[in-house]
């Protein structure tokens, strides 16, 4: 359904030099699939999401979603950025319904659905607050609600839980899985956490250092529904260890990544 065909991206740095962020890569994602992207900092994970979102054009190759070429942002695709990006002049509720208004899809029920989502992520009572009155993690949760409210067919999440404390992160992971299992959408999820990737994904795309290439694509052999208890299973441990050794080499014993 999402196809990247020979996609490469080279940026131009301020000094005019070329920065190859993604080497030519070809891969596809199945409809409804949950895919995690992991790899060292700077290997092009955010770049890949921005390309699929249609926010930047590839230097070479083509990206298509359901057979149509991605040339601009699409109304069926939502993105959660690495840092929360709420409009500072609007309250939380207005922020969450903003994309629906822009798309002309706002209905009287939109606000009810937005309130439900905010309650689901622990933000009930914060609807009329300004983003600056919220912590970074709370802002990120509001940004996740904003992405989910449009009921996207493709959900692109760039380290969405990076700013959350460990407990909230676990709760949000399970909530995301619940929402995803209730409604078909393809999720591309960037994370620095190997265990988060294994817990959430059907497949984990492991990328190598810049310019990003695909080191390997790993199938996660765990049944659904997933739960944190599965972290104790040897299938889980083997899978995480395989990813770790692909990223770090030498048996994956180097530390620095969760």
Residues at the contact surface with ligand ATP, assessed by CB under 6 A: 11, 13, 19, 21, 41-47, 82, 210
Q: Given the complex with ligand ATP, which of 146 and 210 has the nearer CB atom?
A: 210
Radius of gyration of the chain (CA): 18
The residue assigned the tokens 């970074």 is 136
CA-CA-CA-CA torsion sign (163, 139, 147, 8): negative
Helices 136-149, 108-120: crossing angle, 10 deg rounding: 140
| CB nearer Mg ion, residue 19 or residue 233 | 19
Residue 43 interface partner, choices Mg ion, ligand ATP, none, CB cut-off 5-8 Å depending on type: ligand ATP
CB 55 within 8 A of CB 222: no
Tokens representing residue 67 in the block: 């057979």
| Number of residues counted as binding Mg ion (CB under 5 A) | 1
Alpha carbons 25 and 6: distance in angstroms, whole number = 5
For the CB of residue 163, give the shortest distance to ligand ATP in the complex, in Å: 13
Q: Which stretch binds Mg ion (CB under 5 A): 18-26, 45-53, 104-112, 194-202?
A: 45-53
Residue 46 engages Mg ion in binding (rule: CB under 5 A)? yes
Distance CA 97, CA 132 (A): 18
Q: How far is the CB of 179 from ligand ATP (least distance, A)?
A: 24
Find the shortest distance in angstroms from Cβ 35 to ligand ATP: 15
> Which of Mg ion, ligand ATP, none is residue 252 near (CB under 5 to 8 Å by kind)?
none
Applying CB under 5 A, the residues found at the interface with Mg ion are 46
């Amino acid at each position: 359904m999402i196809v990247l065909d020979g996609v490469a991206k080279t940026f131009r740095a301020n000094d005019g030099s070329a920065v190859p962020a993604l080497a030519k890569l070809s891969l596809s994602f199945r409809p409804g699939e949950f895919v995690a992207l992991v790899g060292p900092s700077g290997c092009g994970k955010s770049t890949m999401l921005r390309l699929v979102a249609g926010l930047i054009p590839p230097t070479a190759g083509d990206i298509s979603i359901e057979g149509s070429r991605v040339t601009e942002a699409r109304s069926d695709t939502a993105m959660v950025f690495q840092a929360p990006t709420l409009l500072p002049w609007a309250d939380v509720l207005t922020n969450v319904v903003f994309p629906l208004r822009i798309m002309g899809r706002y209905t009287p029920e939109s606000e009810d659905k937005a309130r439900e989502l905010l309650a689901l992520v622990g933000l009930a009572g914060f609807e009329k607050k300004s983003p600056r009155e919220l912590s970074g993690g709370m802002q990120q949760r509001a940004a996740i609600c904003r992405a989910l409210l449009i009921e996207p067919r493709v959900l692109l999440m760039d380290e969405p839980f990076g700013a959350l404390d460990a407990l909230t992160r676990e709760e949000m992971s399970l909530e995301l899985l619940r929402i995803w299992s209730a409604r078909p959408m393809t999720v591309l999820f960037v994370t620095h956490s190997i265990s988060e990737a294994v817990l959430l994904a059907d497949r984990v795309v492991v990328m190598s250092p810049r310019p990003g290439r695909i080191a390997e694509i790993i199938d996660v052999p765990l049944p659904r529904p997933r739960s944190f208890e599965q972290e104790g299973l040897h299938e889980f441990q083997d899978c995480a260890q395989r990813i770790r050794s692909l990223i770090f080499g030498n048996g994956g014993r180097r530390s620095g990544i969760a």
